[in-house]
Every structure is written in C-alpha cells, then in structure tokens.
Structure 1
C-alpha cells in the first residue's frame, strides 16, 4: 500500500462509527446475600456481553445503580479478588469472605470454580455473591 493511500485511510480508522463494535448483551441477575447475619438479600437486574466476564457486568451495574458497589484487589497470580460488596468486606480475623455461586436457569446452585475476572455468565443465570464464614 502506498503512503498516500495509508494517509487517506487513516482518518477512517479514527472515526467512532468505524471502530465501534456492536455487542450482544444477555440478561443475568446479581443477588447479594449475607449468610453471616440474617439480612434481606438484594437482587439486581444486570447484563453481560455475550461471552464477556462477570467483572464487566458488575462494573456496568455499579456505574448504573447507586445501590450496588464493590471493590476488588488484584492478585498477580489469580487476578481480581472480590474484596467488598456494598461496603461489607471479608476478613481473615473474622473468617469471612465473599463466596461466588451461580443458580442456573434449571434451578441448580453451584459454587464457581473461577473468579469474577474469569467466569463467563450465561443468559438468565443468577450470580449469588454470598457473604459467608469459613
């Protein structure tokens, strides 16, 4: 390709319409449960990019809903670690942590073997963030 053609095509690559990819979103629910104290659970409607990770859905939910917030801590070996949800943090001293569960559309509840940075939710799953003791 000649330098003139590259120069003429470069502005097209910079236009938002050319770079923007349309994503398909699938619906999920995020349920926040506190198994340590008997408090009412909170359920939030959310969506995730088809094939996208749970962390992305949680970030999108946090930016659009003032009733949901969370923090993570990055681990160099295992990626993002869920540290707190709605101001409640896990504690080594109190032996508490955030357990990640998923309730499938068939009603089966399973413990996730991947973290929020790796798990890819499927349509109509309910992600359960369960504050629990070990």
Structure 2
C-alpha cells in the first residue's frame, strides 16, 4: 500500500515537473463490483452491484457514485478522527455493539476473499475487483 502511494505521488510530481496535463479521457473510469451479504440471518436486503470509479480512487467515492445511479444501494458512514470512516449501515441494516454485529469489508484482490486492512475511506480498489460488504459478528 505504501509503495503504491509512493508511486502515485512520484508520478504526480513528475507530471507537474514536466508541465504535462493529464485528462480524464486518458484514464477512463474503471468498473468495480460490490456485493452485499448477510452471514447472520440471510433475511436482510442483499445484492450485487457494479459501479464506475476513477483509477486510483477510494472505495468511498465508488460507493457515492453507486448511490447516484442505483436507488437500491444505501449506506451510512461515521467519521472518527483517529481511524477515518467507519461503515455503519448498508441497505438499512446497521451493526450493533450489543449484538456484536458489524459490516466486514472483504476484497477478492488476491484471488480469494480477504478482509481489507483499511476502511472505505482509504481502500483503493483495482479495476473489476469485487468488494463484499459482509454483515457478520465478531
């Protein structure tokens, strides 16, 4: 992750140093997939969605774009000064401390579903990656 960020920053600095202009047409939007699932009761609204996002953009931006074009997908996040954005609710279902439930964020970027090491405000999906919001217990 740090190496990826370093590469992006170096590239940006080089582009600015050379006075080049990069337009959105040179780097078209990429598609990602978002799956919502409930591992606890399977009663809640589940779904599969796809959306477009800017290359190198964060997951939260892709989620915002998805809500603009799909009324079925809804979410709430809260912001913590120390940890950033926390995914609190998806499609009307909220995690609950008393029930020990939360929305786990999984990614298939490695070929299998693994928890992301950062939240929606920092995670940078790859093109055609599937992100799974999994309602589960801790």
| 1:77 Cα deviation after fit | 0.7
CA RMSD of aligned residues (A): 1.5
Write out aligned runs for 1:54-73 (5 A): 54-73=59-78
Q: Of the two, which has the highest radius of gyration?
A: 1
Aligned length: 113
Pair 1:125-2:132 in alignment: no
User: TM-score, length-normalised on structure 1?
Assistant: 0.79
Tell me the TM-score normalised to structure 2 length.
0.77
* Structure 1 gap segments, 5+ residues each: 1-20
Asked if 1:89 is matched to 2:86, the reply is no
Q: Which has the higher strand share?
A: 1
Q: What CA deviation, in whole Å up to 9, does each residue of 1:67-113 have, x standing for no partner?
A: 00000001011111101000000000110000000123x63211100
Q: Distance in 2 between matches of 1:121 and 1:24?
A: 15
User: Does the 8 A contact of 1:84 with 1:98 survive in 2?
Assistant: yes
* Whole-angstrom CA distance in 2 between matches of 1:38 and 1:90: 15
